[in-house]
Structures are given as structure tokens and as C-alpha cells.
Amino acid sequence: MSETGFVGEPIVVASPNVEYSKNEIISRYEYRESRVNGNIVTPLNENLTFKTQRKIPKTGVLLVGWGGNNGTTLTAGILANKLKTTWMTKEGEQHANFLGSICRSVTMRIGIDNNLQPVYAPLFGVIPMLNPTDLDIWGWDISNMSIANAMVRARVFDYDLQRKLYPELKDMIPWPSVYSEDFIAANQSERANNIIHGTKQEQLQTLRQNIRDFKQSRGIENVIVLWTANTERYAELREGLNDTADNLLRSIEADASEIAPSTLFAVASILEGCTYINGSPQNTFIPGVIELSERHQVLIAGDDFKTGQTKIKTVLCDFLINSGLKLASVVSYNHLGNNDGKNLSAPKTFRSKEISKSGVIDDVIRANRLIYGENEHPDHCVVIKYVPYVGDSKRAMDEYTSEIFMGGRNTIVLHNTCEDSLLAAPIILDLILLAELCTRVQIKRTQDEEFSRMHPVLSILSFLLKSPQVPSGSPIVHSLFNQRYSITNFIRALVGLPPETFMLLEHKIPCFQKS
């Protein structure tokens, strides 16, 4: 029995449906859903078996845009935790932590104790997860500035923390990166002194060689490549150019101008068998990239980190509409002064961000046709302005107007100030840790002879991404709480625990209390 309602040690599930061996956890799991035909609803059950590798391979992460605010903040933050760094601010002594990471700072309910009280455990205590301080980090950047100097330039960390970490970061120099001024704002050219030259095919081969050298030189078994560089404009989708995997590869060989740098990184990652995560809103995952990932069975996830304003938007829209109020207008204004804001000051790159921010309320509306007509949506306006003085301290202002009972109206206005990269870095970390977990999971149905890997498109990570990529034909889930429970219920399934229901029937049915 738990006296505290918390289990800090790794849990063991005692069930005939779960087997623990030295190398694997085998979980036999009954997945339940309902099929609807007209007004007839038929419950369906599918018996699945999950196999999760317990041994965590030595893992490295390669960051595209390593010298930006997000890349330097993540690298220095993990280092500070590894060294157990403390530093002084005007508020007193500070200690390194992983606040903002659901994998390291959030618990999940695992059951009830003998007093029928809930018991919780950290996510990493339910299933083996990679420790962030074991990560090996490197990357590419269009600037040759060291990660130490880039950290200073970013002005995210307090001076005393920068001073303590600087010696550990000064020898970290990013590899040259792919640069195309057509895909990002012209104002980025002043940073572009660290470039891979040559045709797109030659650039692709250089990226692939970088990945191979990284693995070999450091003895790394598993590499995750993550784009945290500038937002690109949308790439054109054209038949014969990028609509299939073969056409995409031929277009790269032909040095086609409409192949974006982020797509080159994705292709290099997939061909080298490395999970690829797109943290910016551009359409990196054109149809040819998705088909290529399916062909090689390499995991991909995207698009665009879900940090402050968008996360709040998904919560409020969910709350308002599922309270029966008709959300009619959402207006979002942002201003920030980091390099992301500078790049987004160009209309072509801002449009990519506008699309990713604007789509986050669609499925909540689609789920309630009682109050919204078939083609009816709230007015949704997004504005982003570059204000250099505020640096990484982003300001966001939102207005939500809803129609309420008997012709009334309700307006909620929020002002949110946040340090952009300090919110983004733990989200990047979670994407890496959960993607790594997914590389160790295999699944099969009862009628299948062989286990297979998860579908290459990791839509399960949509809690952390604004515009989650999903397999073709799959619904997109934007509701934040649904996205979170898809992660925790997935982890529960891996160890044979049923999904969380919150019905608390043990407190409502007498026979539970007597047992």
C-alpha cells in the first residue's frame, strides 16, 4: 500500500498479460473502440501484443539550427543538469531542473491503494525511458559561432549560469548547414557563414556522411535528427516534383530549386535510418517524404513546437466549446525579439507559422455540429511582430469571444509573457525522449505472425506539436487533454494497464468497497 500516493521507483505490473524479461516487456492488450454506421454503434475489440525493448541504446541527437536560441538552451540546460549546476540570481541560488518536460516532471495515475486513494508515478517510472543527461548532442548551423558564444548571444540564461557553462561549450562548433535564401527571410543572410556548397545531391550526401561520422566516432546506436532552425516558407507541391518518394529523389538528383533545406535533412535522416522531427511549421513532410519514411520504416513527427500561446489556445477552445458555448472569434497577437521573430517578419515565412497556429481549433469545432454548421468556423486572426528589445521574452495577447445563452456574449482577454526558448527546450527534450521510446516498441495483432514497428508517422506526439502529422486518412486530434492522454494511455498499454477512465467506480459501487 502506498502511504504517500506516489511511487518513485520503477513499477512492476503483476498480471498474467504482462511478461518481464531481461531484455523486453511483453504486454497483451485489449484495444476497444466503436464503429458507427448511421445511428447504430457497434463496440469492437482488438487483441494486441506490445513488445518493448528494455535496454536503452546509446542515443545521440543532431539539431538542425543548433546555434539558435532553442538549440543552445537545450544543450546548455541538459549540461547544467548533468553537472548539477547551481548559480546565483537576484532571487537567490538556483538549481538546474527539467521543469516543463512531461517525461521528467509529470506523473501519471497508475491505480488506487488499499484505501481506494489514487497512486501516481513518474512517466519514466512506468516504462524505461532515456535519461536526458545520457544524450550525446551535436548539430548543424548556418553560423559558425560556437555554442558557448551562441548561448551568450541568445540572452536566455542568467549571466552567472552562462559563466559556469561557457568553458564546457566553447569547443562545440556546428557543422556547416544547408542554406537557401529563397526559403527563409533575407535578413538571415548576415548569419550565413557556415554553408554546405554544391548541388542538392551533393548536399544530401554531405548530410548523410555527417550522420554516419557522428554515429561511428561516438559509438552511437540510435540517432534522432530534429529541426529547430528557422521557419521556411511553404514548398510548392507539384506532380513529378515531390509527390512520390521516387520523384522526390529524382528531383534532388536534378538539383530542383523547389526542394527545401528541411526536406533535404528529412531525406538524409530517413535514408540513414534516423528518426526525424520537424519543429517548425513549414511543410517539410511533403508526400514524397512521408512515402519515403513508410518505405524505409523510419519514424517521423511534426510540425512546429507547441509552446505557450498555442497550448493555452487549445485548452481554452476545448473548455469553451465543450462547455456548450459557441466560440465565434479568436484573435492572437504576438511580439518577440529573438531571431525566430526576425525571420518571421518576412511575409513568406510568417505564412507558414500562421497556418500552423490557425489549425489548432478545427477538430474541436468538427466534434460539435450541434452549434456549428457544416462549413462554419470562428473568425481566427494571428499577428506576429518583431520587436528586438524584448529578446526571447515573448508577449502574447489573445481575445476569445463566444456566443452564450439567449443572445449574450462573453469575451476573455489574456496577456501572457514567457521566455520562449525556456518553454521550447523541454518540449524538444520530450519529443526526443518519446520518439526514442517509440523506436523500441513493436506491435502485432493476434492473427499476425510477426511483430512490426509503429507506423512511421508519430501522431502520438501531437501534444507537443501545433500541427501534428498523421497517417493519410487519420483524424487530427488538436484537443490538448486528449493529446496528453493519448501519450499516458499509450505508456499504460505498454505495461498492460487499462486506459484511464476517471469514472472512480470504486467509490460508487458498494461491492468495490467490500473487496
344-368 pLDDT per residue, tens: 776 766 666 666 556 677 767 877 8
- The pLDDT of residue 289 is 96
Answer positive or negative: Cα dihedral of 140, 142, 146, 152. negative
Beta-carbon contacts of residue 157 (< 8 Å; ≥ 6 apart): 73, 76, 151, 165
**In whole angstroms, how far apart are CA 310 and each of 169, 353, 396, 455, 479?**
32, 11, 10, 26, 11
Answer positive or negative: Cα dihedral of 486, 488, 490, 496. negative
Instruction: Give the count of beta carbons closer than 10 Å to the beta carbon of residue 84.
Output: 9
Q: Which of 200, 326, 342, 466 is catalytic?
A: 466
Q: Please report, rounded to a whole number, the percentage of residues in the chain having pLDDT higher than 90.
A: 69
DSSP-derived pairing of the beta strands 59-64 and 136-140: parallel
- Euclidean distance between CA atoms 335 and 385, whole angstroms: 5
Residue 115 DSSP code: T
Of 510 and 320, more confident: 320
Q: Is 394 a catalytic residue?
A: yes
282 neighbors 257 (Cβ within 8 angstroms): no
When pLDDT is cut at 50, 70 and 90, the band that residue 339 belongs to is confident
Residue 390 DSSP code: G
187 neighbors 345 (Cβ within 8 angstroms): yes
Q: What would the grid cell of residue 192 be?
A: 550565413
3-state secondary structure of 341: helix
Residue 424 amino acid letter: A
Q: What would the grid cell of residue 35 be?
A: 464503429
- Euclidean distance between CA atoms 92 and 311, whole angstroms: 30
- The pLDDT of residue 355 is 64
Q: What would the grid cell of residue 218 be?
A: 561516438
Q: With 60 as the cut, is the pLDDT of residue 514 above it? A: no
| Average pLDDT of span 64-73 | 96
Q: Which of 164, 200, 303, 304 is catalytic?
A: 304
Q: With 80 as the cut, is the pLDDT of residue 340 above it? A: no
The H-assigned helical ranges of 108-244 are: 147-154, 159-169, 200-218
Bridge partner list, 30: 47
- The pLDDT of residue 275 is 97
Q: What would the grid cell of residue 465 be?
A: 506539436
pLDDT tens figures, 159-171: 999 999 999 999 9
Beta-carbon contacts of residue 80 (< 8 Å; ≥ 6 apart): 96, 161, 164, 165
Q: Which of 313, 353, 398, 430 is catalytic?
A: 353
Residue 170 DSSP code: T
- The pLDDT of residue 1 is 41
CATH topology for 309-420? Answer: Dihydrodipicolinate Reductase; domain 2 (3.30.360)
When pLDDT is cut at 50, 70 and 90, the band that residue 478 belongs to is confident
- Euclidean distance between CA atoms 443 and 447, whole angstroms: 12
Q: Is 466 a catalytic residue?
A: yes
Beta-carbon contacts of residue 501 (< 8 Å; ≥ 6 apart): none
Burial classification of residue 1, based on how many CB atoms lie within 10 Å of its CB (0-12 exposed, 13-18 middle, 19 or more buried): exposed
Q: What is the DSSP string of 215-257?
A: HHHHT-SEEEEEE-SPPPPPPPP-TTTTSSHHHHHHHHHTT-T
- Euclidean distance between CA atoms 474 and 29, whole angstroms: 22
- The pLDDT of residue 405 is 95
Q: What is the mean pLDDT of the chain?
A: 91
Q: Which of 394, 398, 420, 430 is catalytic?
A: 394
Q: Is 353 a catalytic residue?
A: yes
Count Cα neighbours of 390 within 13 Å in the Cβ-side half-sphere.
Answer: 18
Q: What would the grid cell of residue 372 be?
A: 456549428
Q: With 80 as the cut, is the pLDDT of residue 292 above it? A: yes
Instruction: Give the count of beta carbons closer than 10 Å to the beta carbon of residue 257.
Output: 12
Q: What would the grid cell of residue 222 be?
A: 540510435
**In whole angstroms, how far apart are CA 117 and each of 112, 288, 503?**
5, 51, 13
Q: How many helices (H) and strands (E) does the chain have?
A: 15, 18
- Nearest alpha carbon to residue 333 among 360, 319, 313: 313
pLDDT tens figures, 385-405: 889 998 888 888 999 999 999
Q: With 90 as the cut, is the pLDDT of residue 303 above it? A: no
DSSP-derived pairing of the beta strands 452-453 and 136-140: unpaired
pLDDT tens figures, 207-249: 999 999 999 999 999 999 999 998 898 899 999 999 999 999 9
